Amino acid sequence: MKNISFTDFRLNGFYSLEEWRPFLFIPFFLMFMLSVFANSILIYLIISQKSLHSPMYVLIGMLAVVDLLMPIVFVPHMLLSFLFNWNEISLTGCLLQMFFLHFIGSFQSTLLLWMAIDRYFAICKPLYYHKNTEISNFLKFLILPVIRNTALVMSIVSLAGKQQFCTNIIDHCYCEHMALVQLACGDISMNNLVGLLTAFLIPTVDFVLIIASYIVIFVSVFNSGKGHMKAINTCITHFIVMLVTLTFALTAFLSYRIGKNISPNSRIFISMVYILFPSCFNPIIYGVRTKEIRQTFLKFINTVKNLHW
């Protein structure tokens, strides 16, 4: 059996639900449409409104792009699987899906880190804010995370692609790294190690730096005694998004390593929630809690109504 390596796979997520499986199409389709609609509106508002062309809102727009692309990579294929049992995927297709999911997903925490750096300059170094946020100066904060994310994600995908696979049934709805690697015939200790390093060096390091920057920001505000409630409100919004993203990401990641008693369906659901929930609710959180975006959205709605009538 070890001489055979499968190159075509079947995504077998939620198959234990049997005849109830097609009904999963409804909630996941609604979540997908909410994600596409909400993020598309947010991106449109930020692109079209000059008042939202500051670095802070550009970063929020980039987060919306990430939240838009993540579900597009796998949800359409998954929905077709629920309805028509179109579960087949090649090894190349699986590795490509894995790369784009993990690469795009790695920028969720990285963008929140860039937002925290932007808020640090805006609140703690206001006189030098525009100078520090010029692309030539801000580039030093962009290059290293991009290189780090690219190198680590390419490492886990290339290591997965080098494995020989003894079975071709992936107990998941998409090509998640550990779901595929667990099918390998040989030793996967290196895959596990690089996966752990990726989880530590990307989301964990990003969130530690975010928390450190917010501590500095809050201390600076309280010591100065100045009214920075608008800036603090923006930081609280980032903090809410950060907690939601981190909670789902760590739960999904640890479910494969310490959650031996977690059922396959529960593990798959946690992974789905990790991708879909932030994509659905990040734009809503920013739309509700960020005054400028909220006001711009209301103006947009009124304009649409006037055109309609």
For residues 103 and 106, give the distance between their C-alpha atoms in angstroms, rounded to a whole number: 5
Q: What is the domain partition of the chain in residue ranges? A: 8-308
Considering the four listed CATH numbers 3.40.50.1970, 1.10.3720.10, 1.10.10.10, 1.20.1070.10, the one that applies to the domain covering 8-308 is 1.20.1070.10
pLDDT (0 to 100) of residue 1: 43
Per-run averaged pLDDT (10 residues), the chain, 309 residues = 72 85 92 94 91 87 93 92 90 94 90 88 83 77 90 95 91 89 90 89 89 86 66 72 74 65 77 83 82 83 70
pLDDT (0 to 100) of residue 273: 79
Q: Is the Cβ–Cβ distance between 293 and 59 less than 8 Å?
A: no
**Long-range Cβ contact pairs of 254-259 (< 8 A, separation 24 or more):** 256/178, 256/179, 256/182, 257/178, 257/192
pLDDT (0 to 100) of residue 267: 79
